[in-house]
C-alpha cells in the first residue's frame, strides 16, 4: 500500500498515520518529523530549516525532496509507505511522481482529511498548550493555514485529476476517523 495523507495543519494526518502504519504494517514517513529531527540534531539542514518552520512557512523544495528520497531508499519501504506532510505544493507533487516512477512504486491512493478551520485552530491550540511546539503559536498557525490554502489545496485537485483522491470527514473521535479512512482506502483501491 502506497498512500499519501493530505489535509490542513491540525487535520489529524500525523495522528492517523501513526495508527495506519500499524494497520497496514508499512512505515510512516512524515516530512515534518524528519525536519524536526534535523532541527533537534542541529544538522546543516536543520539549521537552515529551523527559522522557516517556526514562521510556519514551507522549507525549500530541494531540501525536503533530498530528505524524502533518502528515506524512500531505505529497505523498509519495499512493501509500501504512508506519506504524511508531503507533497505540500504542486512542485513537490510532480517531484514525488517522478521519484516513484523511477523506483517503480506508483502511488495507490491520496486520502484528503476534511476538517473545518475553526476546529483546526482549536486542535492546534490544544497541542500548543500541551507540547509547546514552536510553530503552534497563533501567528505561525495563521501562516500555516494560509500556506495550506494557497499551496497545498491545489495538490488535492492534482490527484483528483489522476482519479486517486478519496475524501474523508476528519471530524469526530480519532478511532472513528481511523475507521472511515480504512473503509475509504479499501473502496478506492478495490
Ligand atoms: P507537519 O509536521 O506536517 O505539521 P502539521 O501539518 O501541523 O500536521 P500534524 O501532523 O503535526 O498535526 P495533526 O494534524 O496530526 O509540518 C510542520 C512544518 O514542517 C510545516 O509548517 C513546514 O514548515 C515543514 N514541512 C513539513 N513538510 C514539509 C514539506 N513537504 N515541504 C516543506 N515544508 C515542510 O494533529 C494536530 C493536533 O490535532 C494534535 O494535537 C492531535 O492530537 C489533534 N487531533 C488529531 N485528530 C484529532 C481528532 N480526531 N479529534 C481531536 N483532536 C485531534
Q: Give 58-88 pLDDT, tens digit per residue.
A: 999 999 999 999 999 999 999 999 999 999 9
Q: Is the pLDDT of residue 54 over 90?
A: yes
How does pLDDT run across 113-149, given as a tens digit for each residue?
999 999 999 999 999 999 999 999 999 999 999 999 9
Q: Is 46 in the pocket of ligand 1 (CB under 6 A)?
A: no
Q: For residue 54, how far is its CA from the centre of ligand 1 (angstroms)? A: 13
| pLDDT for res 190 | 87
Closest Cα to residue 139, out of 121, 126, 151? 121
pLDDT of residue 157: 96
Total domains present in the chain? 1
The verdict on residue 102 lying in a domain is yes
Residues involved in catalysis: 13, 88, 127, 133, 144
133 within domain boundaries: yes
Strand partners, 168: 113
In this predicted structure, what is the pLDDT of residue 176? 98
Whether 85 is in the pocket of ligand 1, judged by its Cβ within 6 Å, is: yes
- Is the predicted pLDDT of residue 170 greater than 90, yes or no? yes
CATH number assigned to the domain comprising residue 11: 3.40.50.300
Going from the Cα of 84 to the center of ligand 1, the distance in angstroms, rounded, reads 9
Has residue 131 been placed in a domain?
A: yes
Question: Would you state the pLDDT for residue 62?
Answer: 95
DSSP string computed for 158-190: HHHHTT-EEEEE--S-HHHHHHHHHHHHHHHT-
Mean pLDDT of 7-23: 97
In degrees and rounded to multiples of 5, residue 169 shows phi and psi of -70, 120
Q: Output the CA 12–ligand 1 centroid distance in Å.
A: 7
Which of 4, 7, 9 to mutate for ligand 1's pocket (most ligand atoms within 8 Å of CB)? 9
Atom 22 in ligand 1: residue holding the nearest Cα? 58
Q: What rounded mean pLDDT belongs to the chain?
A: 96
pLDDT digits (tens, 9 = 90+) for 91-113: 999 999 999 999 999 999 999 99
- As a whole number of Å, the end-to-end CA separation of the chain is 12
Q: State the Cα–Cα distance between residues 141 and 190, nearest whole angstrom.
A: 37
Domain membership of residue 37 (yes or no) is no
Residue at 50 is within a domain: no
Full domain range(s) for residue 112: 2-27+81-189
pLDDT for the residue 76: 96
CA–CA separation, 137 vs 54, rounded Å?
Answer: 9
Q: Please say whether the beta carbons of 24 and 82 come within 8 A.
A: yes
Residues 6+ apart with CB under 8 A from 103: 72, 73
Q: Is residue 9 assigned to a domain?
A: yes
Residue 76 lies inside a defined structural domain of this protein: no
In a domain? residue 101: yes
The model's pTM: 0.94
136 CB under 6 A from ligand 1?
no
Amino acid at each position: 500500500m502506497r498512500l499519501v495523507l493530505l489535509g490542513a495543519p491540525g487535520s489529524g494526518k500525523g495522528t492517523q498515520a501513526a495508527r495506519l502504519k500499524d494497520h497496514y504494517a508499512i512505515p510512516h514517513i512524515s516530512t515534518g518529523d524528519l525536519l524536526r529531527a534535523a532541527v533537534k540534531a542541529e544538522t546543516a539542514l536543520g539549521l537552515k530549516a529551523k527559522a522557516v518552520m517556526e514562521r510556519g512557512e514551507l522549507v525549500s523544495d530541494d531540501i525536503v525532496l533530498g530528505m524524502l528520497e533518502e528515506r524512500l531508499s531505505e529497505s523498509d519501504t519495499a512493501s509500501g509507505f504512508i506519506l504524511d506532510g508531503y507533497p505540500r505544493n504542486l512542485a513537490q507533487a510532480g517531484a514525488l511522481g517522478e521519484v516513484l516512477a523511477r523506483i517503480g512504486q506508483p502511488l495507490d491512493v491520496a486520502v484528503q482529511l476534511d476538517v473545518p478551520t475553526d476546529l483546526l485552530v482549536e486542535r492546534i491550540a490544544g497541542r500548543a498548550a500541551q507540547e509547546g511546539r514552536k510553530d503552534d503559536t497563533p501567528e505561525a498557525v495563521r501562516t500555516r493555514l494560509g500556506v495550506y490554502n494557497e499551496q497545498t489545496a491545489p495538490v488535492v485537485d492534482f490527484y483528483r485529476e489522476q482519479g486517486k483522491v478519496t475524501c474523508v470527514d476528519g471530524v469526530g473521535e480519532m478511532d472513528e476517523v481511523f475507521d472511515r479512512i480504512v473503509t475509504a482506502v479499501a473502496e478506492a483501491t478495490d
